[in-house]
Amino acid sequence: MTTPPASLYVDAADRPWQERRPGVHWKVLWEEGDRKAVLVRYAPGATIPRHRHLGDEQIFVLEGTVSDDTGTCSAGNYARRPAGCVHTVTSRTGALVLAVMSGPTEPVTTG
């Protein structure tokens, strides 16, 4: 008999914040291959340069706002970036975001 997988419980306070770029820190809550769930904290004015998603990214904004080329997502709201989506992300006021990703990103220098 095969034992089914168990639920994973994570104490987010035990996970370290890692600086991904100036003003953008994240802590990985779960990771399996290219799939992961992370908390992302944006300082006011932080920017993630233009990039392409090679898998889906789903975000739920817990605090503040984040914006990209097509709109702004505020606290209590959800956005999805499908595979192939190209954008720049900014947070004018700062934010805390839960992001669930099914693949990596790659930098985009044009378009």
Q: Can you give the pLDDT at residue 109? A: 85
Residue 18 scores a pLDDT above 60 = yes
Q: Rounded to whole angstroms, how far apart are CA atoms 38 and 12?
A: 10
Q: Can you give the pLDDT at residue 111? A: 54
Q: Name the residue type at position 106.
A: E
Counting Cβ atoms within 10 Å, is residue 13 exposed (0-12), middle (13-18) or buried (19+)? exposed
Which of these, 42, 40, 58, lies nearest to 101 by C-alpha position?
58
Q: What is the mean pLDDT of residues 74-99?
A: 97
Mean pLDDT of the chain: 95
Name the pLDDT band for 47 (thresholds 50, 70, 90): very high
Q: Which CATH superfamily is domain 22-107 in?
A: Jelly Rolls (2.60.120.10)
**Prediction pTM value:** 0.91
Reduced to 3 states (helix: H, G, I; strand: E, B; else coil), residue 23 is coil
